RNA sequence: UGGCCUAUAGUAUAAUGGUAGUACGACAGAUUUUGGUUCUGUUUGUCUUGGUUCGAAUCCAGGUAGGCCAACCA
């Protein structure tokens, strides 16, 4: 029996619209501007728009809002499509606002003919000045009095390239004293003699967001046009234009954008991180971009689950990055292959082990009832982690210490007999004995131990590089911190361990596999790996209650 | 000295005039050949002041706090 999940406010609106017969089905759209890579905030919007259409049997268009040729590039178009597909969604149609340039132009002509738009020769400074302020009404200038014919001719000349950038704009004639600044005769078209990534040099006038977005929605018969809160003031203009143009009445709804602790979400800041080399690129595993998270090893299902868990509302929010990590772990725990890798080796010689090698069988994933097993070589000389031995153990320490016993995962119980030190007094080796009757799976020794350690046979170890990532910023709320965001960059967000020691099975595994390095965390192969050099990214750590315990004492 | 949006545990999010619930976190315990996983339990909340009502997180009014709006960006 599963409880009915409550609806968010947009689902309520949709169910009401459907119930009242306002629409037979719904159509949504995801409208990125191709001027950057998608990030986790876009993932929230993608999951919402596509998820709604799936839930209510409608469809979703992918529409590139490419009305500003100077910032947009084909490279971004391709990455956006790849990321959406990877997230697991399919768009009904791939559209571009630039597909509608001719139609949009005709809409503008229609407004001019209705006496609702005029060509203004003022400079941008003059226009800003005449606009007034939220508390001071704006004033209309003489250009607003031009005749329809004059406006028609001027607008045609603008299109034909007669004027230089900035010399003229087309404005809607709305209300210069509106308390909503967006209604004070907003600019509809501006002149830009720039090359567009799709239309080339065909156009030298380009519609503004407000004269492209709602009209594109309408052309595509989008029923629910969902955007973020900062577009609320645009809605009045959105509706005004649809009404005056007498076109399909799409409706705009707004929800709160996603913010996540210890990271930034604005394209401007992300671009800066890339350009100024604070990260290696858009797909740096520390980036909140979808491609960065993908490279880091986050699963698409985990991202979708996260978007589902954070909910949709109109309240400003700051989501704990821990929730994302929880979703990532939850997915990985079910699918990751368990492997043993020693990062910081301490040699152990098992003095009473006389065979060259013994293969022990260890399950690939204990969470899976039908798990496969692998054969792991065990020998006289092995490595364990330096952390897993202490000469003077604190209370509740389950690991190795002089005279103490632990189990080696999947193999035998050993006892530490002797500590070997170098001249400086550092522990360099442990001499241990093993209990032959304690073999994993048929232990008849009766010995109880608290700790189980991961280990690797020295002679059989495979080397690899490991890249461990931490949060990119040192403060929770980067956007609200008083200084420039770059002052808060975490200098230790990347730690590279050049040489770790892995069990041999890891050398045979591949890029689409996910691993849990036992007691270490989840890892995946990085694209920088070559045939003779394995490089792993730490996707996320395991929960570590012992580390927390140690921290509490100190 | 304008308009608009918002306010529920630490963080998010539900309850649509009728028992304030869920997830993450935190804490405690059980299980465990990963100090992982799993399981159990505990903890903490309706911004404020009035009003309407048998009954208010919900409706109304005032206040307070936070956010957004004056790009030829989207």
- pLDDT for A331 equals 98
pLDDT at A486 over 60: yes
Q: CA of A333 vs C1' of B37, distance in Å? A: 8
User: Residues A300-310: pLDDT tens digits?
Assistant: 999 999 999 99
User: Is A363 noted as a catalytic residue in this protein?
Assistant: no
Beta bridge partners of A169: A120, A190
In the predicted structure, residue A5 carries a pLDDT above the cut 90: no
DSSP class of A457: E
Distance between alpha carbon A482 and the CA centroid of its chain, in Å?
25
The rounded distance, in Å, linking the Cα atoms of A310 and A287 is: 20
Within A 241-280, residues with CB less than 7 Å from strand B = 256
How many Cβ atoms from other residues are within 10 Å of residue A532's Cβ?
6
Q: How far is the CA of A249 from the C1' of B46 (A)?
A: 37
Q: Which of A267, A374, A380, A405 is catalytic?
A: A267
Q: Is the pLDDT confidence value at A72 over 90?
A: yes
Asked whether strand B has any atom less than 7 Å from the CB of A169, the reply is: yes
pLDDT tens sequence across A261-294:
999 999 999 999 999 999 999 999 999 999 999 9
pLDDT higher than 80, residue A521: yes
User: What pTM value is reported for the model?
Assistant: 0.96
Is A294 an active-site residue? no
**Exposed/middle/buried for residue A328 (C-beta within 10 Å: 0-12, 13-18, 19+):** buried
Q: Are A40 and A265 in contact (CB under 8 A)?
A: yes
B2 C1' – A63 CA distance, angstroms?
36
Query: What are the distances in angstroms from CA A228 to CA A56, A303, A319, A478?
Result: 21, 19, 16, 20
ipTM surpassing 0.95, yes or no? yes
Rounded distance in angstroms from the CA atom of residue A31 to the C1' atom of nucleotide B37: 40
Residues 210-229 of A with CB under 7 A from strand B: 212-213, 229
What is the sign, positive or negative, of the torsion defined by CA atoms of A54, A55, A60, A65? negative
Hey, which bits of A86-152 come out as E strands? 93-96, 117-120
Residues 79-118 of A with CB under 7 A from strand B: none
**Residue range A457-469, pLDDT digits in tens:** 999 999 999 999 9
Per the DSSP assignment, residues forming a β-bridge with A359 are A377
Which residue's C-alpha is at the least distance from the C1' of B4? A233
**With 90 as the cut, is the pLDDT of residue A1 above it?**
no
DSSP string, A405-438: EEEETTS-EEEEEEEEE-TT--EEEEEEEE-GGG
Q: Which of residues 516-545 of A touch strand B (CB under 7 A)?
A: 516, 518-519, 542-545
At A192, is the secondary structure helix, strand, or coil? Answer: coil
Question: pLDDT tens-digit profile of A131-180?
Answer: 999 999 999 999 999 999 999 999 999 999 999 999 999 999 999 999 99
Provide the token pair at A236: 């009045």
Cβ–Cβ under 8 Å, residues A393 and A399: yes
Question: What is the signed CA dihedral for A156, A157, A161, A164, rounded to 10 degrees?
Answer: -130
Average pLDDT along chain A: 96
Number of CB atoms found within 10 A of residue A84's CB: 22
Distance CA A517, CA A271 (A): 33
pLDDT tens string A29-62: 999 999 999 999 999 999 999 999 999 999 999 9
When pLDDT is cut at 50, 70 and 90, the band that residue A510 belongs to is confident
Told to judge if A339 belongs to the known catalytic residues of this protein, a careful annotator would answer: no
pLDDT confidence tier of residue A2, bands split at 50, 70 and 90 = very low
Q: Is the pLDDT of residue A3 over 70?
A: no
Q: What's the CA–C1' distance between A47 and B56, in Å?
A: 35
């Amino acid at each position: 029996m599963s409880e009915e999940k409550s609806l968010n406010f947009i689902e309520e609106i949709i169910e009401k619209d459907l119930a009242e017969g306002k629409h037979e089905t719904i159509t949504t759209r995801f409208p990125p501007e191709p001027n950057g890579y998608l990030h986790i905030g876009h993932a929230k919007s993608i999951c919402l728009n596509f998820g709604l259409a799936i839930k209510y049997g409608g469809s979703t268009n992918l529409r590139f809002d490419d009305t500003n040729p100077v910032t947009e590039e084909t490279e971004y178009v391709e990455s956006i499509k790849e990321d959406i597909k990877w997230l697991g969604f399919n768009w009904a149609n791939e559209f571009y606002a630039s597909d509608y340039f001719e139609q949009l132009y005709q809409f503008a002509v229609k407004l001019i003919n209705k006496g609702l738009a005029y060509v203004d020769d003022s400079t941008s400074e003059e226009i800003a000045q005449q606009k007034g302020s939220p508390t001071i009404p704006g004033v209309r200038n003489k250009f607003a009095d031009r005749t329809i014919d004059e406006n028609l001719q001027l607008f045609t000349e603008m299109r034909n390239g007669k004027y230089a950038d900035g010399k003229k704009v087309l404005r809607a004639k709305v209300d210069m004293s509106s308390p909503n600044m967006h209604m004070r005769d907003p600019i509809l078209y501006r002149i830009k003699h720039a090359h567009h990534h799709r239309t080339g040099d065909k156009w030298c006038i380009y519609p503004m967001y407000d004269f492209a977005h709602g009209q594109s929605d309408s052309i595509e018969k989008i029923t629910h046009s969902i955007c973020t809160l900062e577009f609320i003031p645009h809605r009045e203009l959105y509706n005004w234009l649809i009404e005056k143009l007498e076109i399909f009445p799409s409706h705009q709804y707004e929800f709160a954008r996603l913010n996540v602790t210890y990271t930034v979400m604005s394209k401007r800041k992300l671009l800066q991180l890339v350009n100024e080399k604070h990260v290696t690129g858009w797909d740096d595993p520390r980036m909140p971009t979808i491609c960065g998270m993908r490279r880091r090893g986050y699963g698409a299902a985990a991202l979708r689950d996260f978007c589902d868990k954070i909910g949709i509302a109109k309240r400003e929010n700051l989501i704990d990055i821990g929730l994302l990590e929880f979703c990532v772990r939850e997915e990985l725990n079910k699918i990751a292959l368990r492997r043993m890798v020693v990062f910081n080796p301490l040699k152990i010689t098992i003095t009473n082990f006389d065979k060259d090698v013994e293969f022990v069988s260890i399950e690939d994933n204990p969470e899976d009832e039908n798990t496969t097993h692998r054969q792991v070589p065990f020998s006289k000389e092995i490595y364990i982690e330096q952390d897993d031995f202490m000469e003077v153990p604190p209370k509740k320490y389950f690991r190795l210490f002089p005279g103490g016993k632990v189990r080696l995962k999947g193999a035998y119980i050993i006892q530490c007999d002797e500590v070997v030190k170098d001249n400086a007094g550092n522990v360099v080796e442990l001499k241990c004995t093993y209990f032959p009757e304690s073999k994993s799976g048929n232990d008849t020794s009766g010995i109880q131990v608290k700790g189980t350690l991961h280990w690797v046979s020295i002679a059989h170890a495979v080397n690899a590089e490991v890249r461990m990532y931490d949060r990119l910023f040192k403060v929770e709320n980067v956007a609200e911190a008083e200084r420039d965001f770059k002052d808060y960059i975490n200098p230790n967000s990347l730690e590279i361990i050049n040489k770790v020691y892995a069990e041999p099975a890891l050398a045979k595994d591949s890029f689409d596999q996910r691993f849990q390095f036992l007691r270490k965390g989840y890892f995946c192969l990085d694209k920088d790996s070559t045939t003779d050099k394995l490089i792993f990214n730490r996707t996320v750590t395991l929960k570590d209650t012992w580390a927390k315990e140690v921290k509490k004492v100190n």
